[in-house]
Amino acid sequence: MDHKKFYIDGAWIDPIEGRDLDVINPTTEEPFATISLGGQGDTDAAVAAAKRALPGWMATPPEERIAAVERLLAAYKAKAEDLAQAMSQEMGAPLDLARRNQVGAGIWHLSGFLKAAKDFKFEEPLGDHAPNDRIIHEAVGVAALITPWNWPMNQITLKVGAAAVAGCTMVLKPSEESPISAMVFAEAMHEAGFPAGVFNLVNGDGVGVGSQLSAHPDVDMVSFTGSTRAGKLISKAAADTLKRVHLELGGKGANLIFADADEKAVKRGVLHMMQNSGQSCNAPSRMMVEAPVYDRVVAEAAEVAAKVTVGPASEEGRHIGPVVNRTQWDKIQGLIQTGIDEGARLVAGGPGLPEGMNKGFFVRPTVFADVTPDMTIAREEIFGPVLSIMKFDSEEEALEVANDTPYGLTNYVQTADGARRNRLARRLRSGMVEMNGQDRAQGSPFGGMKQSGNGREGGYYGLIDFLEVKAVSGWDNDEA
C-alpha cells in the first residue's frame, strides 16, 4: 500500500496538495510510515465525489445497503491481523489488546448495525388515525467522519456502519496519529464493492482537512469523536451552514464504590482505568469510595496497580503499552506532578518512565489517594493510566461530587443494593451508567451529555443520527 495516497471516488489517487508527515511508533519513538496530509483541493475532491454518489446511494434499497455492510464485515474480518498490526504500531496498543479489543470492536459494531438495520422501518405509517400519512427515514446526506487515534476501528466502524446503512455518503478523516489502520479499512470498503464515491478517505490534521470538512457547504453532517476543545471549534465552523453536528467528546467518569460492593469491584475499576493505557473517554478515572471501606480500597487499588506491567506494543501479553505521542506523555507527566504538588497522596506509580525503560512514551500505572474535588487531577481529563481516589460519607454526597463536572459521558456504580443502583442511575448526569461490572449490550447507545457531546452511536440509535425524518401526507397506499 502507498501510504501517501487518498481513497477518493473508488480509487487510490495521489494528493492534489499533499505534504508529508511521518507516523511515529510510540514504542520506539521512530517513524514507521509516511503519509500525506491533504489540502483544500483534496477535501473538495472527496466531498464532490460523495455528493455525486449521494442520489444513487440514497435510492439504493435498504436491503442492498445492508448486503454491502455484510460484505464489509467479511472483508474486515479477513484483514483482522493487518488491522491489529497497524494499530499496534501507530497508537501503541499491545498486540493482544489490538487483536481482541481494538479489532474486535469493529466486528461488534458492524454486526450490531446489521441486526438493527434488518428490523428498522425506513418507511412506516404515522398511525391508524392517519392512514395516508407516511414517515420516511431518509439519509442526512454527505457525512464528514472525523475519528480519533485511541480506538481507531471502534470509532470508524461506529460512524461508517451507521452512515452506510442509512444511505449517507462519506468522507473519512482519521487521526493523523493512526492513519494506517484507516487505510486498511478503506481497502476493506473497496473489496466490499461499495459504489464509487460512497466512501472516501483523505488524511489530514484537524487544522487542515478537519476544519475544511466542518465548514464545507456541501457537507450535510459532521460526526466527530475527540477532545471537547476540538468539538467546540467544529461546532463553530459548522454553524454557518447549519449542518448537523454529532459530537462524542471527553469524559471524567466517577466510579462509586459502596461498602457493600462485590469483592472484585476495586480490581475491576483499576484495570478498567488502566486499559488502553488510560486512553479512553469513558475511563472510570475518579474512584469514589464510601468512608467505612476507604482505607482498604486504597490499599487494594495500589496493590492492583503495582501489578500492572508496562511493555512494548509489539509484544503479546496482558501488559499496557505506551501512550500515543510525546505531547500526550508530557501532558500526563505534568498532571501527575500537579497531583503531587496539590497534596494528593501518591500510592502507586508516579512521574517518569517505568523502571528499566529509557525510551518510548510509557507511563507508570499511577494511583492517587486523598484526592479532593477541587484538585486539578479530579477535574481535568488526563487520558493516561492515572486513577484518583476520593472519599464520601453519604449517597447524596457521592452523587453531588460525581455530577460536579462539565463532562457527562459514563459513570459507574458498585453496590449490592438494587434500589440504590436504580436511584443513582436516574440521577447521575451522564449518557451511560454501568453498574456492578455489567457491560452494555450490543446496540446500547454510546454517547454523553453536557460537554461530553451529543448524539448516540451504535445499533438503532446510531442509525437514527444519520437519518432525517420526512413527514408525507396524501400517501397512496395502493402504490409501491
- Contact between residue 367 and residue 265 where contact means Cβ atoms under 8 Å apart: no
Find, among 457, 278, 271, the residue nearest to 385 by Cα. Answer: 278
**Residue of 90, 176, 248, 457 with catalytic role:** 248
- Contact between residue 232 and residue 206 where contact means Cβ atoms under 8 Å apart: no
Distance CA 274, CA 285 (A): 9
Find, among 154, 204, 175, the residue nearest to 20 by Cα. Answer: 204
Sign of CA dihedral 281, 22, 87, 187: positive
Tell me the β-bridge partners of 469: 137
Distance CA 167, CA 131 (A): 26
Measuring CA to CA, how many Å separate 119 from each of 14, 78, 158, 232? 41, 27, 18, 35
**DSSP structure class, residue 100:** I
Distance CA 452, CA 279 (A): 15
Find, among 3, 41, 42, 49, the residue nearest to 23 by Cα. Answer: 3
Measuring CA to CA, how many Å separate 61 from each of 123, 164, 165, 182, 190? 11, 12, 10, 27, 20
The phi and psi torsions of 362 (rounded to 5 degrees) equal -90, 140
Q: Which SS3 state, helix, strand or coil, does residue 454 take?
A: strand
Find, among 246, 254, 235, 219, the residue nearest to 158 by Cα. Answer: 246
In one-letter notation, the amino acid at residue 169 is T
281 a catalytic residue: yes
DSSP code string of 44-95: HHHHHHHHHHHHHHHHS-HHHHHHHHHHHHHHHHHTHHHHHHHHHHHH---H
Residue with cell 463532562: 407
**Residue of 168, 176, 177, 281 with catalytic role:** 281
248 a catalytic residue: yes
Catalytic residues: 248, 281
